[in-house]
Structure 1
Amino acid sequence: MRLTEAEIPFGFKMTELGPLPEEWRVVRLGEVGEVITGRTPSTARREYWDNGTIPFITPPDLDGRPIRRANRTITKEGLKESRPLPRGAVLVSCVGYIGKIGVTDVDLTVTNQQINAIIPKNMNNWFLAYALMHEDDLLANRARMTTVPILNKTNFEKVPIPLPPLSEQRAIAHVLRAVQEAKEATERVIAAMRELKKSLMRHLFTYGPVPADQTDRVAMQETEIGSFPAHWRVVRLGEVAEKPQYGYTASATKEPVGPRFLRITDIQNDQVNWSTVPFCAIEDDSLEKYQLRRGDILFARIGATTGKTYI
């Protein structure tokens, strides 16, 4: 919804991008740097690819972070058939999935033709990257909708972006980079904790609750499900739990027409955000049968997530 003149905050002005500080300008991407569309060396020429060391960046490599490596590499011979990019180039996927972003963080890289690169001039590269992340819908809307969406170089260069003074660009980029780096550090800690958990589970379900330096004292046995302590038994799931119950089949809705309707996709990283779980309509007699109770173990029995569990 467009603001009226009276609704625009003091010190701001209305632009095609919405209200912006009065000292900011709106410019086109082609005005803030050189735009380079990538190129793929012939895959039939093995000398362009075999034992290459130069990152060859494609859209799957773009995740909003500094790019130091890629899934594929090319050789110096392949580089002659590509368009080299320096450190600090801002990369944007413009074919297929529109708007994936990355910033090169090594001295020499190349991209395929699905990516446009911007070599900024008198503009902070990370501010530009974040501005483009913020405008992902605008980028998608500028793409030509064919079987595969395409944002060609000409239209890409015409995309409007905000341009504050350079000092403000640096300050904004610094804050957003700090937040992103903190998020990435947290993700690394979480990943490390998951690996630790896996390691502990392997130990506990193999030797039991004994210290790692005392495993040689544990009498072991070989069973149909592997090695574990000799005093343990192998039983069937039906011996230690009530009969498994399939989940209820219904259409999910955002309207509170009944209880929350938990789906396997609602379980992410061993957690459920119950505020986003939809509802479903269900008769009282069926509710008694299908209602979950504290301590129930949920198990995905079909599909790509088979084996996923939640308590």
Structure 2
Amino acid sequence: MPQDPNDELASVLLERIKVEKERLIKEGKIKRSKKSGSSDTLHYENVPFEVPSSWMWTILEEITSTIGDGLHGTPQYNSEGDYFFINGNNLSNRKIVIKNETKRVSASEYEKYKKPLNRSSILVSINGTIGNIGIYDDEKIMLGKSACYINMISPINIQYMCIILESRYFLKYAIDSATGSTIKNVPLKAINNFKLPLPPLSEQQRIVAEIERWFALIDQIEQGKSDLQTIIKQTKSKILDLAIHGKLVPQDLNDEPAIELSKRINPDFTPCDNGHYAKLVQFEVPKSWMWTTINKISTSILYGVSESAKSKGRYKLLRITDIQDNYVCWQSVPFIDYDENKVKQYLLQNGDIVFARTGATVGKSYLIENLSEQVIYASYLIRVRTYSLILPQYVKYFFKSGYYWNQIEQNSFGVGQPNVNATILGNLNIPIPPIEEQKRIVKAIEQLLKQINKIMENL
């Protein structure tokens, strides 16, 4: 920021602070420090960095009336007391945070150990967690030893001091000054001797205003980012919704209708009577599409094996917990040994879709692709294997649509922990387009999601 030559110099400000401090000492409101209370020692030697000529280097002790810490010990708690016993972990974002577990003390206990806090007091965590900041605002609190209080002398701008105490410069100093092997503690002597740059008072005010302006802008950007993420999530949902309604890609009159596809899948296929088909129809789809159920497009819907995982074995064992954010780290998937005569039906193939049937992730699914090992799947998963004339990628995206999730919510059972069994999964309704349109839909979805994910990466 540009300096204003009309500003009162920081050296004049320091003199005013010195006069005010002497007045407080004479009136008995504060005690003189063990050092000379009117030291003329300059703090220009070995300064950490250069500052404008109108600024001054000083130490915290010279611009404060008192620096101390809280009670070294445990007070007598009283669950109905009026005062909260706080420590460094109660300080956050310049506020004093009262937590559910924060203990209380009585007024009489507070009177025994109270500290001279006022509206110019800054609290800093100095034990264990180092560097948390809170500004005292007449809260009914009693300090513990892990919080120190720094009472500023007017007219120092308290918000400017918070900026200094929140800086990496102070945090590094505090950590470097800390003692103790297990729990670090910053001595009060180090706090007193902390060397800081002091600008003119008007400059302090401009610095505070400028930083607050930037923080407000950052908050706006973060809110905008959050809003954009919400819009992107809604856009993904809309893309899938358009896809299963037949509105994402144009229809091609040359495509073989889905009903002919069903006949090729099952030569004995006969169209449903109007009454039964009407029950399947949840919304209008193009004439070349058809409504059916998951079991009608699947060669099998099968539960996994109830066996414990091992660190070694012949087969990998895929579990619900191995699927995170639509990704499987196959290196971390455990192993299993299984009966060679029974294992074939449980071996996963590319194009299989596994489905979580219980717990917090019920309904989530994962498409098996690019398998390089022999893998079977655990009992909390259901495998759906579609006919070769049904594109598994299309079913994968259907399993992410809002319509699919509505069916899961309506049909899951169990108190506390929702469940969906193979029968329920098999009876879910699904709109099926012609195979060529399935391919066009999948291609369009993947192109759109790729663009959206690129936007997300750049946020």
TM-score (norm 1): 0.53
SS in structure 2 at match of 1:130: helix
Instruction: Determine the C-alpha separation between the residues in 1 that align with 2:203 and 2:293.
Output: 68
Query: 1:244 Cα deviation (Å)?
Result: 7.8
In the alignment, structure 1 residue 243 sits paired with structure 2 residue 371: yes
Query: 1:166 Cα deviation (Å)?
Result: 1.3
The residue correspondences of 1:66-85 to structure 2 (distance < 5 A) are 66-71=94-99, 72=102, 74-77=104-107, 78-80=109-111, 81-83=113-115, 85=117
Instruction: Give the letter for the 1:243 counterpart.
Output: L
Query: 1:82 Cα deviation (Å)?
Result: 4.0
Instruction: Determine the C-alpha separation between the residues in 1 that align with 2:215 and 2:73.
Output: 34
Consecutive unaligned residues of structure 1, counting only runs of 5 or more, are 1-12, 211-216, 221-229, 246-293, 297-309
Q: Deviations over 1:209-242 (max 9, x none)?
A: 59xxxxxx9999xxxxxxxxx9567851575534
Instruction: Give the letter for the 2:369 counterpart.
Output: A
Instruction: Give the letter for the 1:241 counterpart.
Output: E
Identity %: 16
In the alignment, structure 1 residue 141 sits paired with structure 2 residue 186: no
- 1:101 maps to what in 2? 132
In the alignment, structure 1 residue 160 sits paired with structure 2 residue 195: yes
Instruction: Give the letter for the 1:124 counterpart.
Output: N
- 2:152 maps to what in 1? 120
Q: Residues 145 and 70 from structure 1, CA distance in 2 versus in 1: closer, same or farther, beyond 3 angstroms?
A: same
Check conservation: 1:14, 1:20, Cα contact below 8 A.
no
SS in structure 2 at match of 1:91: strand
SS in structure 2 at match of 1:241: coil
Instruction: Determine the C-alpha separation between the residues in 1 that align with 2:157 and 2:366.
Output: 62
Q: Residues 28 and 239 from structure 1, CA distance in 2 versus in 1: closer, same or farther, beyond 3 angstroms?
A: closer
Question: Which of 64, 67, 71 is the equivalent residue of 1:35?
Answer: 67
Question: Which of 138, 162, 174 is the equivalent residue of 1:129?
Answer: 162
Instruction: Give the letter for the 1:128 counterpart.
Output: M
SS in structure 1 at match of 2:54: coil
Check conservation: 1:96, 1:149, Cα contact below 8 A.
yes
SS in structure 1 at match of 2:129: coil
Instruction: Determine the C-alpha separation between the residues in 1 that align with 2:126 and 2:199.
Output: 25
SS in structure 1 at match of 2:51: strand
Check conservation: 2:77, 2:104, Cα contact below 8 A.
no
Would you tell me which structure has more helix in proportion to its own residues?
2
Instruction: Give the letter for the 2:94 counterpart.
Output: P
- 2:247 maps to what in 1? none
Q: Residues 140 and 238 from structure 1, CA distance in 2 versus in 1: closer, same or farther, beyond 3 angstroms?
A: closer
Q: Residues 241 and 106 from structure 1, CA distance in 2 versus in 1: closer, same or farther, beyond 3 angstroms?
A: farther
Check conservation: 2:89, 2:129, Cα contact below 8 A.
no
Consecutive unaligned residues of structure 2, counting only runs of 5 or more, are 1-43, 243-278, 283-291, 296-300, 302-352, 355-364, 374-446, 451-456
Instruction: Determine the C-alpha separation between the residues in 1 that align with 2:190 and 2:164.
Output: 17
SS in structure 2 at match of 1:90: strand
SS in structure 2 at match of 1:19: coil
- 1:180 maps to what in 2? 215
SS in structure 2 at match of 1:21: coil
Instruction: Determine the C-alpha separation between the residues in 2 that align with 1:183 and 1:168.
Output: 22
- 2:342 maps to what in 1? none
Q: Residues 61 and 17 from structure 1, CA distance in 2 versus in 1: closer, same or farther, beyond 3 angstroms?
A: same
RMSD in angstroms over aligned alpha carbons? 4.4
Q: Deviations over 1:155-179 (max 9, x none)?
A: 2211111112111112112222332
Q: Residues 239 and 181 from structure 1, CA distance in 2 versus in 1: closer, same or farther, beyond 3 angstroms?
A: closer
SS in structure 2 at match of 1:22: coil
Check conservation: 1:25, 1:164, Cα contact below 8 A.
yes
TM-score (norm 2): 0.38
Q: Deviations over 1:109-165 (max 9, x none)?
A: 443211211111121112112122232212222223544332211222111111121
Q: Deviations over 1:10-66 (max 9, x none)?
A: xxx8752221112222211111112121226736x331xx14564544333334x23
The residue correspondences of 1:278-297 to structure 2 (distance < 5 A) are none
- 1:92 maps to what in 2? 124
Instruction: Determine the C-alpha separation between the residues in 1 that align with 2:147 and 2:186.
Output: 10
Q: Residues 144 and 193 from structure 1, CA distance in 2 versus in 1: closer, same or farther, beyond 3 angstroms?
A: same
Instruction: Determine the C-alpha separation between the residues in 1 that align with 2:137 and 2:372.
Output: 54
- 1:151 maps to what in 2? 186
Check conservation: 2:94, 2:134, Cα contact below 8 A.
yes
Instruction: Give the letter for the 1:59 counterpart.
Output: G
Instruction: Determine the C-alpha separation between the residues in 2 that align with 1:232 and 1:28.
Output: 74
Check conservation: 2:125, 2:132, Cα contact below 8 A.
yes
Q: Residues 121 and 15 from structure 1, CA distance in 2 versus in 1: closer, same or farther, beyond 3 angstroms?
A: same
Q: Determine which structure has more spread, i.e. the larger CA radius of gyration.
A: 2
Instruction: Determine the C-alpha separation between the residues in 2 that align with 1:182 and 1:55.
Output: 35
In the alignment, structure 1 residue 60 sits paired with structure 2 residue 89: yes
- 1:268 maps to what in 2? none
- In the alignment of these two chains, the number of paired residues is 214
- 1:252 maps to what in 2? none
Instruction: Give the letter for the 2:143 counterpart.
Output: T
